[in-house]
Homo-oligomer: A and B are copies of this chain.
Amino acid sequence: MNETSIETFPNPEPNRRYIITHVNPEFTSVCPKTGLPDFGTVTVRYVPRQRCIELKSLKYYYLQYRNQGIFYEAVTNKILDDLVAACDPEEMTVITEWRTRGGIHSIIEATYKRPNTE
């Protein structure tokens, strides 16, 4: 996986600290234990520095997980790592909310803050 790269474009207002949020309610991956699909909503919220995430490439990045086996906790942290690597933000939070499995639904939330910032 991960052959599709996340594209970025120059932040139109790099001198102002502002917040960008992208919500994808159509995320799906595969449970590595059961082989059955998982469905969830992935929310990315970040403060850009020099680069912003390009929306269409983000969509294709998410599509790569469609048939990949990966646990909730791992995919949340991996999305955060990949997006931080792509756009080097001031800070970024990734929240994944999963549909009910075995009567339980789960939410994972991970945050990155740039070292030595502010």
Contact = CB atoms under 8 A, between A and B. Distances in A.
Given A26-B39, A39-B26, A111-B18, A106 B73 contact: no
A22 interface: yes
Number of copies of this kind of chain in the complex: 10
A18 B102 contact: no
Nearest to A103: B26
B59 A23 contact: no
Contact of A109 (B19, B25, B67, B107): B19
Of A26, A28, A66, A105, the most chain B CB neighbours within 10 A belong to A26
Band of interface residues on A: 35 or more
A77 B107 contact: no
Contacts of A72: 20
Nearest to A110: B18
A86 interface: no
Given A39-B26, A76-B18, A13 B106 contact: no
A103 B71 contact: no
A106 B13 CA distance: 17
